[in-house]
Chain A
Amino acid sequence: MSEVYVYALLGQVPPPGTGAGLCEEPLRVVRVGELVAAVGDMTDPPAVSEATLRAHDAVVRRLADAVDAILPVRFGSLLSESSLADLLAARAPELSEALALVAGREQMTLRVLGDAPAAVETPRDDVGADALGPGARYMAARRAEWRRAREAPELAPLRPALAALVRAERVTRHDTPALLASVYHLIDRGGAAAYQAAVQSADLGTVRAVATGPWPPYAFAPEALG
């Protein structure tokens, strides 16, 4: 049975002229309520290679240029059109919210490089932990761990310069030298040069930060088809 390969969810139907898909198949849209999915008809999933990854990315970039809001879908998402419709319908509120967040915006990716992770500061709510029971101490430790996994304290000196540019942030900590963390920032379209200038002029001490982009907002797309 024929299936559809999904490239992205869009905030609107793109104008004609967005080209073909990664297997040269014509692109078309599947509409479910207010959601629009950009798809191509395929029978087998594409093989993983540099060429197919780049081709998928090129399709997403063309779509991103053609619409105001895009949620890129990861490589290899092939499913029946009815399954796609069911998935989108089931998660419509969440996906609409995500589309609203990325509208008119794009992603910058910041790699935080260094020889050692930033020193862990004792969270303020751990003060007096001795007075807590073992369960509460466990929960406090879990909370601190959860919070730390989503923070990049190494970037503190950079924060003031980025504050006016960054609309949303996702952090993935690696904590294995030399890649300490990957920080994904959502910025207004057209703001990449100002963002790069801010990163390059910041003094982060022993840590280095390398920014790339702009990219379609891959890190801000929910796992719609997971």
Chain B
Amino acid sequence: MSPKPLTGDDARAIFATTDTSLLEVVDNLLTKGVVLTGDVVLGIGGVDLIYARLSVLLCTVDRLLAAQDDVPARPRGGRRA
């Protein structure tokens, strides 16, 4: 399944309707992505989304929503270095 690309208006709507502070916390805390490898599962608005970075969420939210059935695991914690 090929997700349709998000437009600028779509992205603005995401900022307007989701918990922006959580998105920013994820971006701030995981932005380097070195200590944490693998995906992080978080719930936003009652919907579980997989993402490691804010940018990934914004660019691939359609795909992520479609792929929920394929999510293999709940939050995987800790360092994997």
Contacts and interface: CB of A to CB of B under 8 A. Distances in A.
Interface of A: 44-50, 52-54, 56-57, 72, 74-78, 109, 111, 113-115, 174, 176-179, 182, 206-208, 210, 212, 215-216, 218-219, 223, 226
Interface of B: 5-8, 10-12, 15, 20-22, 24-32, 34-36, 40, 42-43, 54-55, 58-59, 75-79
Contacts of A114: 8
Contacts of B27: 109, 182
Contact of A207 (B8, B59, B78): B8
B12 A75 contact: no
Given A48-B77, A54-B25, A74-B29, A223 B34 contact: yes
A168 to B, nearest CB: 16
Contacts of B21: 212
B75 A177 contact: no
Contact of B35 (A75, A111, A113, A115): A75
In this complex, the member of A47, A48, A109 whose beta carbon has the largest number of chain B beta carbons within 10 angstroms is A48
B59 A176 contact: yes
A7 B15 CA distance: 27
Contact of A109 (B8, B24, B77): B24
Contacts of A74: 29-32, 34-35
A197 B7 CA distance: 25
B29 A111 contact: no
A142 to B, nearest CB: 24
Contacts of B55: 174, 176, 179, 182
B77 A46 contact: yes
29 contacts: A45-B77, A45-B78, A45-B79, A46-B77, A47-B75, A48-B40, A53-B42, A72-B28, A74-B32, A109-B24, A111-B11, A111-B15, A113-B12, A115-B7, A115-B8, A174-B55, A177-B5, A178-B58, A178-B59, A182-B54, A208-B12, A210-B15, A212-B21, A215-B24, A216-B28, A218-B28, A219-B31, A223-B32, A226-B34
